[in-house]
């Protein structure tokens, strides 16, 4: 079946612009995560959605970052007034139900802020 | 979640078993050991996980020591496509599920 998809696959933007990154999780998966990975680094947790519960936003690095998940499915990560240090690969992962289950990752969106 | 320690890099000959160690000496009783890998330019991929018993699936085997303070991921017959960064993660089943990835081990499989 279809896996997690993300769009765009690559995004180049100018410093100060806003960007929106999209994640389509696996159908039926109730939980969704956003991570980012800077060049040569491990993954950094950003935000977690589980069903209708309030999201865990503890990993968002600043108030320029926000995310929403509409209808319990598609999620959008928005970065306002982008900075060069926001350049990274942004990864989305979904899981079937329980939080400790296997996470299925998308291919990521490579963001470059000039 | 417990901290893990892995070697920065390892080499393995194609066709040989690759044994990737991980130390997690502060692991708690309710924490699982997970292994993921990330092939260049792709998202991380789940490999295997376990609590205290050894586990095997179509990708790999996981050997956890009796005191659970360390584990080894075994790829029985490494291929060039197994070249990747391998992450060992220890995580409780009760938290929100976010994975804390360290630097991992870069495994280079050589012909």
Cα torsion A8, A11, A13, A15: sign: positive
> Any chain A CB within 8 A of the CB of B32?
yes
DSSP string, A96-113: SSSTTSPPEE---EEEEE
For residue B1, what pLDDT band results from cuts at 50, 70 and 90?
A: low
**Is the pLDDT confidence value at A87 over 90?**
yes
CA dihedral A21, A40, B47, A55 (to 10 degrees): -40
| CA gap B86, A96 in Å, rounded | 23
Longest dimension (CA), chain A: 39
Task: Chain B: give the shortest CA distance to residue A40, in Å.
Answer: 8
Q: What is the band of B101 on the pLDDT scale with cuts at 50, 70, 90? A: confident
| Neighbour-count burial of A18, counting CB atoms closer than 10 A to its CB (0-12 exposed, 13-18 middle, 19+ buried) | exposed
Q: How far apart are CA B1 and CA B72, in angstroms?
A: 19
> Tens of pLDDT along B42-97?
888 989 999 998 999 999 999 999 999 999 999 999 999 999 999 999 887 655 66
Q: Chain B contact for A31, CB < 8 A?
A: yes
Query: For residues B107 and B6, what is the distance between their CA atoms, to the nearest angstrom?
Result: 11
Q: Which of A37, A89, A100, A106 to mutate to test the interface with B (most CBs of B within 10 A)?
A: A100
Cβ <8 Å between B87 and A93: no
Chain A residues whose beta carbon lies within 8 Å of the beta carbon of residue B100:
45
User: Residue A99 CB: number of other CB atoms within 10 A?
Assistant: 20
Output the six-digit token pair for A27: 């159908």
Task: Identify all chain B residues contacting A108, using CB atoms and an 8 Å cutoff.
Answer: 42-43
- Position B93 scores a pLDDT of 61
β-sheet bridge partners, residue B100? none
Phi and psi (nearest 5°) for B90?
Answer: -110, 130
The span from the CA of B51 to the CA of A37, in Å, is: 27
Is residue B81 classed as helix, strand or coil in its secondary structure?
helix
């Amino acid at each position: 079946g279809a896996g997690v998809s993300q769009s765009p696959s690559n995004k180049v933007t100018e410093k100060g612009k806003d960007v929106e990154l999209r994640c389509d999780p696996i159908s039926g998966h109730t939980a969704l995560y956003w991570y980012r990975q800077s060049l040569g680094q491990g993954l950094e947790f950003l935000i977690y959605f589980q069903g209708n519960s309030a999201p865990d936003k503890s990993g968002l690095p600043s108030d320029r970052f926000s995310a929403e998940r509409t209808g319990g499915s598609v999620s959008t990560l928005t970065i306002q007034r982008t900075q060069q240090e926001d350049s990274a690969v942004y990864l989305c992962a979904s899981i079937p139900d329980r939080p400790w289950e296997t996470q299925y990752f998308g291919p990521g969106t490579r963001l470059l802020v000039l | 979640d417990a901290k893990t320690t892995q070697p920065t890099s390892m080499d393995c000959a194609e066709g040989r078993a690759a044994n990737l160690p991980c130390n997690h000496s502060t692991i708690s009783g309710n924490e699982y050991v997970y292994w993921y890998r990330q092939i260049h330019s792709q998202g991380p991929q789940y490999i295997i996980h376990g609590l205290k018993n050894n586990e095997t699936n179509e990708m790999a085997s996981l050997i956890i020591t009796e005191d659970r303070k360390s584990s080894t991921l075994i790829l029985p017959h490494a291929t060039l496509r197994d070249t990747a960064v391998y992450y060992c993660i220890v995580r409780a089943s009760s938290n929100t599920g976010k994975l804390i990835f360290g630097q991992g081990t870069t495994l280079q499989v050589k012909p």
